[in-house]
Amino acid sequence: MSKTSSKSSGSSPKATPKPWEHAQGGVGSASDELAVRFVESLSYDRRLSKHDIAGSVAHARMLAKVGLISKDELGQIEKGLGAIRAEIERDGDAWAGWKLELEDVHMCIEAALIEKVGDAGRKLHTGRSRNDQVALDLKLWVHEAIGNLGPMFGKLFGAFVELAGRDGEIVMPSYTHLQRAQPIVVGGELIAWLEAFDRAWRRFGALWEVNKENPLGGGAAAGSGLPLDRGVTAESLPVGPPTGSSLDATASRDAALDMLYGLAMTAMTLSRWAEQWILYASWEFGFIKLDGRYTTGSSMMPQKQNPDMLELIRGRCGNVYGNLVALLTICKGLPIGYNRDLQEDKRQLFAAYDLVMDCLDMAGRIVATAKFQGERIAHGLERGFLDATSLAEYLVTRGVPFRTAHQVVGSLVHECQTRGVESLAKLPPEVFTTTCKAKGLDAKVIGPDMAQWLGAEQVVRRYQTLGNAGVEGYRREIKRWRERLAR
């Protein structure tokens, strides 16, 4: 959606008096040129038009049901709104009904309806205020946005699962403190990202459960003396039962805030993953090769292949945090009841959503085309004593208390380092027995099967705990993911 400037509305801002301004005899009231531009939200809330019309149709049907408008009037309203919807779909930003001086999407659509159907249109706003109207529109938008996030997450999940299918059993180091820790398989790490992104996705379902109540019928602040049936509107819309407080429903933006938090958590996860892969794509790691479609060159250094898309994913996370903190700050000083500050919610929400959707899309494409560099990873795999913990666990199976086993292996690692030996498996056998004896252990704790607990390739086949990042854990989880994605 392109931005609307004050000039884009065709007529001069002051030309159309606001249809709802009467208290001052129709003059004053934000008719100053700057005030017109200052107060408007049309430039960004017109993307709520579909939701606004859906809410209006539900409201009109309810008005007819309780006898506040006739069947015939309902028919006119529905027909008028249907035509307006089609016009907006056709004309987009160029729709003739967008008039900046009418402030927002709600007033533009209502004015267009009145122009089309006259008095029936004038009845639509019975018992309603823009305050409950916009609160509803926003929830309907959140509902749809969550629906749109689903396939985007789905593509990313699918890309990770396919990458696992290609490179999942390559053995690689895991890191803690960014220091080599224990050996894992590539698939084990991919499962880790799948879990993190899945949690990000499921958070949206949870936030909808908390926020789904229908605010429509709340009116401006206190409710209405007319016999509106809020249950009826709730039933015909993809929202929950009516909210219990009109004051709260029109004054709170928790749905937008929770959504922003969900988006911020998604952005944070994307950013962490991007950082990981930026490291892996470096010459120093050399673990991963990114597809050329998602890297860029340097204007000066001819050899460069930079992971700019990943860097932008990492960087744009900052914008989303900004959107969340902005809306939290906008809301923090607001007394109960609607305040115009709330209008700023949409700027933050839409910006964060658009950005996260783009980043998820990009992430899915990068994952789908990435390759782990098996040979390069294998090259230095026995560096860093990745099997040290495994050796300590071997000693535990031989009856050695873990703390003692930890000391023994610590000494053995030290021995490797002083002798310039690269890995535990390459230490002369007698060093194992003398080290055990030095710790007061029987040399028999070292059995002939010890060798099976050494070396990254063997260690990743030994893990048996639930959720392990070795071969067994990875295979179990990827099966579950494949089944899930097939559904």
Q: Is residue 31 flagged as an active site residue? A: no
**Choice from 342, 363, 391, 441 touching ligand ARG (CB under 6 A):** 342
131: contact with ligand ARG by CB under 6 A:
yes
Element (H, E) at 191: helix 186-211
Angle, helix 345-369 to helix 130-167, in steps of 10 degrees: 10
**Choice from 101, 104, 110, 472 touching ligand ARG (CB under 6 A):** 104
Site residues for ligand ARG, 36-95, by CB under 6 A, read 41, 45
In this complex, which beta carbon is closest to ligand ARG, that of residue 3 or of residue 340? 340
In this complex, which beta carbon is closest to ligand ARG, that of residue 123 or of residue 130? 130
Element (H, E) at 381: none
252: contact with ligand ARG by CB under 6 A:
no
Give, as one character, the DSSP assignment of residue 214. Answer: B
Pick from 144, 110, 89: nearest CA to 349: 144
User: Which region, judged by CB under 6 A, interacts with ligand ARG, from 258-266, 268-276, 314-322, 335-343?
Assistant: 335-343
Catalytic residue among 70, 298, 379, 414: 298
In this complex, which beta carbon is closest to ligand ARG, that of residue 29 or of residue 306? 29
Rounded CA gap, 352 and 342, in Å? 16
In this complex, which beta carbon is closest to ligand ARG, that of residue 41 or of residue 468? 41
**Choice from 76, 343, 390, 435 touching ligand ARG (CB under 6 A):** 343
**Choice from 63, 64, 134, 263 touching ligand ARG (CB under 6 A):** 134
Instruction: Please tell me whether residue 248 adopts helix, strand or coil conformation.
Output: helix
Residue 169: both structure tokens together: 């059993």
User: Which region, judged by CB under 6 A, interacts with ligand ARG, from 234-242, 258-266, 294-302, 339-347?
Assistant: 339-347
What is the DSSP pairing of strand 171-176 with strand 179-185? antiparallel
User: Which region, judged by CB under 6 A, interacts with ligand ARG, from 238-246, 340-348, 371-379, 445-453?
Assistant: 340-348
Rounded CA gap, 450 and 425, in Å? 10
User: Smallest gap, in angstroms, from Cβ of residue 101 to ligand ARG?
Assistant: 13
Rounded CA gap, 323 and 343, in Å? 14
Rounded CA gap, 276 and 193, in Å? 11
Element (H, E) at 289: strand 288-289
Q: Is residue 298 flagged as an active site residue? A: yes
∠ CA 306-156-184 to the nearest 5 degrees? 75
435: contact with ligand ARG by CB under 6 A:
no
Pick from 308, 73, 336, 328: nearest CA to 220: 336
- Residue numbers of the site for ligand ARG (CB under 6 A)? 41, 45, 104, 130-131, 134, 338, 340, 342-343
- Catalytic positions: 177, 298
